[in-house]
Amino acid sequence: MAALQFSVNPTTAEAFPRCNSISRLVGLTSKCSKSSLLLLGRTVKSRPLRRSFWVKNVSSSEAAQILKDPGHQQEAATTTLSPLTPDAESIASSIKYHVEFTPMFSPEKFELPKAFFATAQSVRDALIINWNATYDYYESLNVKQAYYLSMEFLQGRALLNAIGNLELTGPYAEALSKLGHKLEDVACQEPDAALGNGGLGRLASCFLDSLATLNYPAWGYGLRYKYGLFKQLITKDGQEEVAESWLEMGNPWEIVRNDVSYPIKFYGKVVPGSDGKKHWIGGEDIKAVAHDVPIPGYKTKSTINLRLWSTKAASEDFDLYAFNAGKHTEAYEALANAEKICYILYPGDETIEGKILRLKQQYTLCSASLQDIIAQFERRSGTSVNWEQFPEKVAVQMNDTHPTLCIPELMRILMDVKGLSWKDAWNITQRTVAYTNHTVLPEALEKWTLDLMQKLLPRHVEIIEMIDEELIQTIIAEFGTADLNLLEKELKEMRILENVELPAAYADLFIKPKEAVAISGEELQDAEEDEKEEEEEEEEAIGKMDGTDESHIEDEEEQLPEPLPEPPKLVRMANLCVVGGHAVNGVAEIHSEIVKDEVFNSFYKLWPEKFQNKTNGVTPRRWIRFCNPNLSKIITEWLGTEDWVLNTEKLAELRKFADNEDMQIQWSEAKRSNKMKVVEFLKEKTGYSVSPDAMFDIQVKRIHEYKRQLLNILGIVYRYKMMKEMSAAERNAKFVPRVCIFGGKAFATYVQAKRIVKFITDVGATINHDPDIGDLLKVVFVPDYNVSVAEILIPASELSQHISTAGMEASGTSNMKFAMNGCLLIGTLDGANVEIREEVGADNFFLFGAKAHEIAGLRKERAEGKFVPDATFEEVKEFVRSGAFGPYNYDELMGSLEGNEGFGRADYFLVGKDFPSYIECQEKVDEAYRDQRTWTRMSILNTAGSHKFSSDRTIHEYARDIWNIDPVPLP
């Protein structure tokens, strides 16, 4: 076995020739022989950093002899990396090496699962080289770095994305063909990583792709969920949840860093130390262990990191004595308690145990990540750590309120561990941390009970109380004490602690002294006489009842009103985010205005400079270039360049070709080709056969009442009812054929959302088997919707529904993905719909429904009993209740749309109000679809108008306005 050893100085330009590391590696390997490659490792010496790679030349025919001959002498040579073009033969050798020497399957056959793992591991070799080079370079420059903390990262499959970003799709396809497999078949073996649920997690993953592509120094931090949210099954009873199995066969992308672990503490107590610091002692101790996932940039060597934390207990916490005594469950209890923290994404919090587990998850993410960030800062600082420079080197972004505990945790570490004063620690924290708000829904602005947090995180409650007291001082200084009613209102709205008495220093602020009233002697005498008469009457009444009418006394006691329960004491996490961070951003223009005008209006008036807008974006690599190669080829051909993949502004140039007949023909052919794939996919996944000639009408997203899948399916019920009342000829003349596709998960304990899933599937089962309707209307619910399913459905979509109640969707990102792929949108003026409509043109967007500023008035009108429902809407509800869609009782679901007030009633999301407008708009959709040339023109203009919705643009804005970091391309 021959080996090449070479050393590289990554601080010099010669060390980083402008090529991909896999190009260099497989090229060097092919020079040795037609064999596999292996990156064994690296060594890091004193700066300037020097790294050593070993590339082993191992062919399958030599392997057995090599293993028998441990004394075999390696030949060594020292050289530098040089740009070499990768070839399919070298890549095939790399794959064969991993089949043989890093096996996860038995050796008998080279079947698809084994082919996937070996292929992924060969790609990972290249990513590790680039990852190491990237962070050696960042470390040598000691650049400021951004850290993105999120409870979700919805990555999707990684193989095609990685080789696409490395520009190796062709060579890998050829290599696998040589080995007897198709790249597409191999890629389909990869399960979606179960690290997220909806748009929050997908946005985080798009951001990582953009950060790497744009060469920004950044990391993502999350949790390594063993089971994720859940795998969704659709049965006759609706949605059923089973545990996700994405890790059962292992994860070829992750690199376990057993040497990177941090202690995490829960419970215990806080005691003052002789050193003047607070010490958090006792309680429950676990460890967080790092798992790294390399994230490659597109056409760049930059490869950043997603660090995921798993949890475990120390081995000494296993009670060997109890185990040997037969108490097996008791012996394993500490280990199980630690491990379960990272079992499930969003464990149900209906119970106190569920609440504790969620809070443990959030604290684990925050504590482990901050300990790691601080360790990196100290390492890069060398012997002289200047904490004042921490915000100059570190930016921490909290993706929603889940990582809010970053604020008190950073304070705790700086004060209790590093010895900083409160003033210095608070200054550093506020300059370091920033917060992205993703919702206006009150229930999503997290609140934790003070008692629970006090029990689980006692030191953090002390710090939060101190932050709250400092906020009180600020509010009093701002508003003064002249108008106590105003001051009381602002304190009630802005304080971090809700329903908690003011600190002792301010306790008497709102005690109003009794006013002395001057009364005359005559008035005083009359009052005394009246009081005496009342006492006499009372004594007389008691005397009559004494011993004879005790039941009357008991009746009076029973009639006494029950004392009102004290409201729970809460910690408002969103308020803590606003107070503790230097920037607060919404994720669409309309959402950011609602954040300033409603959600955090008092804070906005106090600190207007903190508030920003950062409209969401999606990566054009995954969401056009890789998932829709048919359309990408056409775009590149007509624009004359592929630069649009990195600069989506160029997509706007498609507008000048929108009326070109040749362009339209190609565009329509690409769409039909994508639809044919969906026809096959739906048949395989659901058993339903659909026509590719029908309009593909799609709503795929998390199932929630405010997203109004219920409005969509009731519109379909109306369409079906109308069809049934017509002759066949009338039906064909009136309606355009449609395939209505739904997908998304309802949270396991969200009863109403699960009723909606059940309703959709029941409607589909009825319509799809109705011979009178045939291919004129189909309704299909795709089970277990995820990124991989989205990559199939979105390129084939023709109409996409984004129909949330106006003012309730923060932004949305699926609307951007659909528009990028030439899909027309029907929707309300909500979230990013507003900006998309502006860019694609009002004529190319199907708009309906109430506006955001009207919603409060419409709800008030409903509460006052003034709302008159549309007659057709009432007919549709009665049709549902008639049993047309099976025996399931939908009274609760339909009842939620009725009445004027009450929980689960009064149509809070205005389905009935917007129903007539929605139906009218759908008729316009049918009319437009009949003219396919006009429809195709509108489709092209939607892709052209999506040019502003790249996550690259969003990341540039975060980097400039919030993080203050610059791109650092490798030389």
CA distances to 331, 434, 603 from 963, in Å: 47, 8, 21
Catalytic residue among 144, 402, 621, 701: 701
Residue 552 CB coordination number (10 Å): 12
Distance between CA atoms of residues 414 and 423, nearest Å: 11
Q: Strand pairing of 303-312 and 218-223?
A: parallel
Nearest to 810 by CA among 574, 581, 509, 580: 574
User: What is the end-to-end Cα distance of the chain in Å, rounded?
Assistant: 33
Phi, psi of 780 (to 5 degrees): -130, 125
817 is known as an active-site residue: yes
| Dihedral over alpha carbons 195, 201, 207, 213 (to 10 degrees) | 40
438 is known as an active-site residue: yes
Catalytic residue among 124, 817, 913, 937: 817
Catalytic residue among 358, 707, 754, 778: 707
Helix (H, G, I), strand (E, B) or coil at 673: helix
Burial class (CB in 10 A: 0-12, 13-18, 19+), 269: exposed
For the record, the structure tokens of 692 come out as: 């590719």
CB 956 within 8 A of CB 648: no
Residue 240 CB coordination number (10 Å): 16
CA distances to 218, 223, 406, 545, 608 from 600, in Å: 29, 29, 20, 59, 10
Helix (H, G, I), strand (E, B) or coil at 739: strand
Catalytic residue among 301, 358, 393, 702: 702
| Residue 741 bridge partners (DSSP) | 698, 780
Distance of CA 81 to the CA centre of its chain: 39
Distance between CA atoms of residues 596 and 607, nearest Å: 10
CB 968 within 8 A of CB 637: no
Distance between CA atoms of residues 581 and 578, nearest Å: 6
User: Could you identify the residue written with the tokens 């207990």?
Assistant: 313
User: Could you identify the residue written with the tokens 């309606």?
Assistant: 735
Distance between CA atoms of residues 818 and 698, nearest Å: 10
The number of residues making up the chain comes to: 971
Residue 298 CB coordination number (10 Å): 24
Distance between CA atoms of residues 486 and 555, nearest Å: 43
DSSP states of 908-965 as a string?
A: TT-HHHHHHHHHHHHHHHHHHHHSHHHHHHHHHHHHHHGGG-BHHHHHHHHIIIII--
The amino acid at residue 899 is G
DSSP states of 417-452 as a string?
A: IT---HHHHHHHHHHHEEEE-----GGGS-EEEHHH
701 is known as an active-site residue: yes
Q: Sign of dihedral through CA atoms 163, 168, 170, 171?
A: negative
Distance of CA 384 to the CA centre of its chain: 38
Q: Strand pairing of 284-296 and 255-266?
A: antiparallel
707 is known as an active-site residue: yes
Q: Sign of dihedral through CA atoms 662, 667, 668, 670?
A: positive
Distance between CA atoms of residues 412 and 274, nearest Å: 17
Do you find a cis peptide bond into 48, omega within 30 degrees of 0? Answer: yes
For the record, the structure tokens of 340 come out as: 């379960």
Residue 470 CB coordination number (10 Å): 14
Catalytic residue among 134, 686, 813, 936: 813
CA distances to 238, 708, 893 from 241, in Å: 10, 22, 21
Q: Could you give the residue numbers annotated as active site?
A: 438, 701-702, 707, 813, 817
